[in-house]
Amino acid sequence: MSDLPLIVAMETHDIRFPTSLELDGSDAMNPDPDYSAAYVVLRTDSGVDGHGFAFTIGRGNEVQTAAIAALEPYVVGRRPEDLGALYKEMVHDSQLRWLGPEKGVMHMAISAVVNALWDLKAKIEGKPLWLLLGEMSPEELVSLVDFRYLGDALTPGQALEILRRAEPGRAERIARLKAEGYPAYTTSPGWLGYDDDKLRRLCREAIADGFTQIKLKVGADLADDVRRMRIAREVCGPDFRIAIDANQRWDVGTAITWVNALKEYEPYWIEEPTSPDDVLGHATIARALAPVKVATGEHVQNRVIFKQMLQAGSMSVLQIDAARVGGVNENIAILLLAARFGVPVCPHAGGVGLCELVQHLAMFDYVAVSGSRRDRVIEYVDHLHEHFADPVVIENGRYLAPLAPGFSAAMHPESISAYAYPGGRVWAEETVRGGVA
Ligand SMILES: [Mg+2]
């Protein structure tokens, strides 16, 4: 009989932050997001809890929360033993699978639950998740991955080879992470809703804070983008990396024309130029715009699309998201694919809690998969960290390695109750004021 705790209950919460009031997070496709979490807590008989969530931007968060609740039979009454097997059971549920397969709301729900299981497991082991994973044997890590549909690009044998190659330097890289952290870039200056003065001020602040890369949202109005890009380049100087992000706004041809119009200001990458499903469109854009890099991934629905994009040369920067694909397990597969194709991973973050989660995956990648921080940066957005029990710590443009046990996923209980939608205190006040509710 296992001595691991028994999961005795699953709670779900629809949590929403009224961020649309400040235009934080405004981009060409998402002008008024209310950053939200479909949040799950796994309660155990030992008092240790596992926390996880899917990130959404407001309406529909109740649908996402209901999808998580549908997974209750997979976890209640179980122990967090073999998380490779448990993940595969959920992904291959013969009836739930119809809702995807392996994409969209149900897949994001699996992500939330899988991540909550990892939060629980890491707390039980007394380690931050990145270190727990970074100390697992290559064989254990391979057992966490679902290789179905990957065989033409990555076999278990090839994955083992990648992991074994990185094994000798693990201890040294763990020490370096603890001492130096992991490089970050900031998206805070670049939201579309900000005026030019705010852009200028935030660019200066980003440099003063030690960041070596920023990102601007583009794609709503070309003349505005040219002006904002010129301002950013003036303030940041010639050798500073400025990425741009269109949030899926364009057709393939428009993407090429638009980015060409910004080329004199040397954008480092163009992110999400078009539909995240358009594998070949991204490849066309990448060929037309080189040496500007194409970056995508935050809306790529699973490892199969990532595989195709790597095979087709659609991306030269791969942006994993901690809470869209099937959680930690599927992200390990994607990190292995990226290593196999030699493409750097620069995780998507921001929203609510995505920085907290994804730092663990990037650090694990550095320790045990790619073994490199070269050309790799984690997105950083300075929003909503105060709601988390173990918030990210940024110093001199770097994420410091989290040391508390777990996946840094847990929100403060007061935040969970105050921002509960629609009944929490904050939303009741908004309704009274005639605000966004
Ligand atoms: Mg983006």
Mean pLDDT of the chain: 96
Instruction: Give Rg (Cα) of the chain.
Output: 21
Is a pLDDT exceeding 90 seen at residue 2?
A: no
Cα atoms in the 13 Å half-sphere on the side-chain side of 385 = 15
Residue 298 Cα to ligand 1 midpoint, Å, equals 7
Joined tokens for residue 394: 């940024």
Residue 261 Cα to ligand 1 midpoint, Å, equals 20
Is a pLDDT exceeding 70 seen at residue 433?
A: no
pLDDT at 23: 66
Contact in structure between 112 and 52 (CB atoms under 8 Å): yes
Residue 168 Cα to ligand 1 midpoint, Å, equals 34
- Give per-residue pLDDT as tens, 61-81: 999 999 999 999 999 999 999
pLDDT at 24: 66
420 shares a domain with 399: no
425 shares a domain with 396: no
79: left (phi over 0), alpha (psi -120 to 50) or beta: beta
- Residue 168 belongs to some domain of the structure: yes
- Residue 180 belongs to some domain of the structure: yes
291 shares a domain with 339: yes
- Residue 158 belongs to some domain of the structure: no
327 shares a domain with 198: yes
- Give per-residue pLDDT as tens, 121-152: 999 999 999 999 999 999 999 999 999 999 99
- The pTM (predicted TM-score) of the whole model is 0.97
Residue 318 Cα to ligand 1 midpoint, Å, equals 12
State the pLDDT confidence band at 161, using cuts at 50, 70 and 90.
very high
403 shares a domain with 425: no
Domain CATH for 380:
3.20.20.120
- Residue 152 belongs to some domain of the structure: no
- Give per-residue pLDDT as tens, 90-106: 999 999 999 999 999 99
Q: What is the mean pLDDT of residues 412-421?
A: 98
* Catalytic sites, residue numbers: 217, 348
pLDDT at 293: 98
- Residue 245 belongs to some domain of the structure: yes
State the pLDDT confidence band at 89, using cuts at 50, 70 and 90.
very high
Residue 25 Cα to ligand 1 midpoint, Å, equals 10
Q: Which residues form the domain of 63?
A: 7-128+414-433
230 shares a domain with 329: yes
- Residue 135 belongs to some domain of the structure: no
Q: What is the mean pLDDT of residues 244-262?
A: 98
CA distance 412 to 409: 10
218 shares a domain with 332: yes
171 shares a domain with 23: no
Report CA-CA distances (Å) from 51 to 37, 115, 306, 312.
12, 7, 27, 36
Percent of the chain with pLDDT over 90: 92
Is a pLDDT exceeding 50 seen at residue 159?
A: yes
pLDDT at 65: 98
User: How many residues are present in the chain?
Assistant: 437
393 shares a domain with 428: no
**Burial (CB count <10 Å: 0-12, 13-18, 19+), residue 291:** exposed
Is a pLDDT exceeding 50 seen at residue 156?
A: yes
pLDDT at 437: 42
State the pLDDT confidence band at 432, using cuts at 50, 70 and 90.
low
167 shares a domain with 265: yes
373 shares a domain with 265: yes
- Give per-residue pLDDT as tens, 183-234: 999 998 888 888 999 999 999 999 999 999 999 999 999 999 999 999 999 9
Is a pLDDT exceeding 60 seen at residue 168?
A: yes
Domain CATH for 63:
3.30.390.10
pLDDT at 31: 75
- Residue 143 belongs to some domain of the structure: no
- Residue 154 belongs to some domain of the structure: no
State the pLDDT confidence band at 434, using cuts at 50, 70 and 90.
low
Q: In total, how many domains does the chain have?
A: 2
238 shares a domain with 123: no
Q: Which residues surround ligand 1, an ion (CB under 5 A)?
A: 245, 271
CA distance 403 to 391: 11
State the pLDDT confidence band at 291, using cuts at 50, 70 and 90.
very high
